[in-house]
Amino acid sequence: MKFIKLPMKFFLFGIGLLSLCLLGCVNNERSRNWANPNVSGEVLVQQVCSTCHGIDGQSQNGMFPKLAGQNKDYIVGQLEVIKGRERDSAHTKQFMWGPGRYLTPKQMDEIAVYFANMPPMKANNVDPSIISDLTSYFSKPDPNFASGPTYKVSAADAALIAEGKEIYQKGIPSKEVKACASCHGELGQGDSPIPRVAGQHVYYLNYRARIAMTKIMANLSDSQINSISLYLASIQGPPNEEKATLDPVTKDSFAGEDKENDCHYSVWTYGWYCGSWMDAFVKSLKNQ
């Protein structure tokens, strides 16, 4: 008899768990389901976007832009063109078309306010060992994912940084290059809808400047663009003026509960998985 009783207990326990899950699985406060319009922008930032952009908006990888203190209107504008697929560089397609696909205008607005209110992007350290070969560093299409192309600025960069600062602040009138500061602000803080660039990753700045600022960059040499990127990566801009208080993030804030629709990006295989974290992990092991 014992044999029958035991599985029966487990069976009932299983049903209990299942019904709990049915309730828990649609917890909009914890959902990772980016296709659910009822999940707030703040929850999406914590559950989905934080994977790459960091829970505090200070991403750790040079390929993933920092969004801490990024300007609200700029973020909304980018989310719109990402959703509309007008922003279609390789990295945007690969990483952002998924999370951006279903965002509603309300979610975009909430996401943008949440990031804009964070303490701004921190200055980066730039590694002297990379300086000697900047061009080859920037020309790598996919920087090493695991360690990330985080760049550390050193004293050896002083000359390059000074050159970058000069161009940023004054432009190059003889080449009809306008001062970047005239739009992005003296301190690189931008001005909605113009993006904050101070404290951004050097790799991202260098790569994006050439795409977003095609006309201006055409009149600058590679080495000048490198210098400006180094300068901007090495400074921190001021926080946004209209700063609201953010709810504190605890270690539980971003534990997902939406098992059915749980989508996340796997750094093992560079691919999106929808389903449970366990499935994603097993799949990624198989793909290794």
Q: What residues line the site for ligand HEC (CB under 6 A)?
A: 34, 44, 48-49, 51-53, 63-65, 67, 75, 77-79, 89, 91-92, 95-96, 99, 111, 177-178, 180, 182-184, 194-195, 197, 205, 208-209, 212-213, 216, 228, 265
Nearer to ligand HEC, 19 or 169 (CB): 169
In this structure, how many other beta carbons lie within 10 angstroms of the beta carbon of residue 271?
14
Nearer to ligand HEC, 12 or 61 (CB): 61
Minimum CB distance to ligand HEC, residue 185 (Å): 10
Q: Which amino acid is at 145?
A: F
Minimum CB distance to ligand HEC, residue 174 (Å): 14
Residue partners of 220: CB distance under 8 A and separation at least 6: 167, 172, 175, 177, 228
Nearer to ligand HEC, 1 or 145 (CB): 145
Minimum CB distance to ligand HEC, residue 184 (Å): 6
Of residues 42, 39, 9, the one with CA closest to residue 27: 39
Nearer to ligand HEC, 9 or 106 (CB): 106
Tokens of 73: 């209107």
Minimum CB distance to ligand HEC, residue 131 (Å): 19
Nearer to ligand HEC, 97 or 259 (CB): 97
Contact between 107 and 155 under an 8 Å Cβ cutoff? The reply is no
Residue partners of 198: CB distance under 8 A and separation at least 6: 120, 121, 123, 187, 188, 189, 232, 235, 236, 237
Minimum CB distance to ligand HEC, residue 164 (Å): 8
Minimum CB distance to ligand HEC, residue 284 (Å): 14
Radius of gyration of the chain (CA): 22
DSSP conformation class of 47: I
Minimum CB distance to ligand HEC, residue 77 (Å): 6
DSSP collapsed to 3 states, 120-172: CCCCCCCCHHHHCCHHHHHHCCCCCCCCCCCCCCCHHHHHHHHHHHHHHHHCE
Nearer to ligand HEC, 64 or 137 (CB): 64
Tokens of 186: 């003296």
Nearer to ligand HEC, 55 or 156 (CB): 55
